[in-house]
Amino acid sequence: MDYLTQDEVGGIVAKGLAALYLERPQFPIDYLAKWLLTYSELLKKQKTREERQHVKETKIKEFKVLTEQLAYLQEESLRLENLQKEKHEQFLESIKQAKYHDEFLGDVFCDYVAKRFRVNTYVCELDFPKKEIDLNQEDDENAHINLEGTKLLTYIYADQNSKFLVGQTLLPETGVTYDALKEPQPDENGEVVQTNGIYVEDVVKEPRIVYHKWPKLGAYNAIPLIYQSCLYEQSFDQGIEQRSQYLILKENQDKERSAKEAEFEERLESEDPAIIEQEKQAYLASLEPLLEPSFAQQKKEYVFCIDTLGQDRQIPENHRTEILDLVNLLIKQWELQEIQSMKADVELQLHYQSNLGAPFKEILENWALEEEQYIDSHSEKLAEFKENEKLLSYETDCLRLERLREKLSDKEFIQPLLNLSNCRIIKFNTIIQAGLYLIGANKIDINLPDTNRLNIRKLVLDENLIQQIVAYNHKGPKPEPQYKWCYVDRVQKRVEKIEQEQVDAYNLILGRLLKFLQLTCKLRKLDIEIRRENIANKRKQIEQLKEEASKLLEQKEQALKEHKEQLSPEELEEFNQEEWEVNFDSEHPMPEIPENPADEIDDDYIIEPPQQ
């Protein structure tokens, strides 16, 4: 019964019977059967319409969702595109703002290009081959360079995935990378066509490709990175000279122009202003413009390398073009930044020279006079050593050193030296390096890696550093172990090679520091010699006292023997030998023999024994 009472059965039959009742057809059974068939078709159509409507509504909902997702994706894509564009603009700006473009090339540039274009990047430099050196034995700043060898390409920078290449070299004319640095040759028509490097779209088809690990499929692009560097001492010296001449010419021209303009102004009172103005403009037009001198330059050659090894794909042309543009921008900004740095260094040096107030030799003469007056003020102290020429010279030089220390402890006095702290070119920086060695600095901490060259980028040239150097005490034993390069005799050899007058002409305070180091090393050696001589003299005196004591004992025994021989047997029995010895000792006192002095350890200076 439950089945028949369902709407899908009983309900529909009831509707059919109701229709049958209303219509009262002639053939009720046929009518009811047709009605049920018709009703069934209507239900099917209605269900189909409902299903279609449901599908339609579902599609509309899905479309709305997809539209929203598409809008979000487009918005996100635009955001990421803008973010990437912003990062790229920041990267371009960082190229312009970089202070040290060589460090920027290794620390930032390689990784950025590698990530942006999904490639491997690395840089090789064309230079003389490097060689390992023993830092304990070598002090020459060029000891790590084989200047007699042929220049090689050495990998110096790489992205994070290619660090294994750093330090490896390419033998001369090996591989295709050297071709990127070759001068372009004229074609059949005699025209020289500039190239943008070497591109190999399929490395397996190029037999000259060098694989540093194992062969892989992909493409290779080598872009020449050649720039003109002006940051070296010869360029600095030439820049000082040319800039000085330029300023003199400019000053003379300005004076001449001012005098001529004053003359024109004076003539305005009695002559036609139009004619005067015409003559004035003609005069100004006739003046040749003075061009600021450029700096001497030397070529630095690198190759920026890109590959897709392991990806089995080419490097699209638009990517190669964009990377080439980035490399050229780096070259341009590198050269520009070096020129700006050199200008700043030259201007600082000229400013220093103009503020001296007198020729540097005249200033040195005044300082020498002050030094002699300082020594004269201690004449009473020096009078004690007049009988010993070596000690007199030693004590006199100690006073000179004391005077130098006083001056170098004055911040205002050493300011011209401290002003060099931000310079890219610091001439005679081996003086500062020698001072650092003197106070025990480790080469690894202050020099460029695996070299004897001072890393002036890491150098903190401030008052504290100078005070540490001038606080060095050359007197007394120094038993503490030292690095071999910190031995005073090695420091002395370094500073003795430096021309004092050249340093004074560059920077008087640096010249005072050089003199301080030279004098300190000299006095350190003398101090060791004098102390060793004193110990030797004390030991000699002790030996002499021992000989005197031995002779006195022999004399005592002989005197006792002679005295006993002079006594009669009766007197000999009553003779008090102990009393006699006391009287003898009081008349002939035994010398006091001090303890033998111990050797003093000086583990900072190797004094070669005198030749036999």
Mean pLDDT of the chain: 89
Q: Could you tell me what percent of the chain has a pLDDT over 70?
A: 96
Query: What does the pLDDT read at residue 378?
Result: 92
Q: Does pLDDT of 338 surpass 50?
A: yes
Kindly tell me if the per-residue pLDDT of 385 is higher than 70.
yes
Dump pLDDT digits (tens) for 207-252.
889 888 888 899 999 999 999 999 999 999 999 999 999 999 888 9
Average pLDDT, integer, range 514-534: 94
Please report which confidence band the pLDDT of residue 612 belongs to, taking 50, 70 and 90 as the band edges: very low
The 10s digit of each residue's pLDDT in 8-41 is 667 777 777 777 777 788 878 777 787 878 877 8
Q: List the single range of 87-101, 435-449, 501-515, 557-571 with lowest mean pLDDT.
A: 557-571
Choose from 64-73, 459-468, 478-487 the range with maximum mean pLDDT: 459-468
Mean pLDDT of 80-103: 93
Provide mean pLDDT across the span 555-563. Answer: 87
Q: CA nearest 451: which of 443, 461, 459? A: 443
Beta strands 169-170; 198-200: pairing state: unpaired
pLDDT (0 to 100) of residue 609: 56
pLDDT tens digit sequence for 180-191: 998 876 666 666
Q: Is the pLDDT of residue 155 over 90?
A: yes
- How far is residue 75 from each of residues 69, 70, 81, 82, 406, measured CA to CA in Å? 10, 8, 10, 10, 70
Confidence of residue 288 (pLDDT cuts 50, 70, 90): confident
Q: Are 141 and 430 within 8 A, CB to CB?
A: yes
**323 and 121 Cβ atoms separated by less than 8 Å:** no
Q: Looking at the predicted structure, is the pLDDT value of residue 194 above 70?
A: no
Residue 163, both tokens: 């660090």
Average confidence (pLDDT) over 75-91: 91
Answer whether residue 518 shows pLDDT above 90: yes
- Per-residue confidence at 192, pLDDT binned at 50, 70, 90? low
For residue 227, list its beta bridge partners.
300
Alpha-carbon gap, residue 119 to 211, rounded angstroms: 16
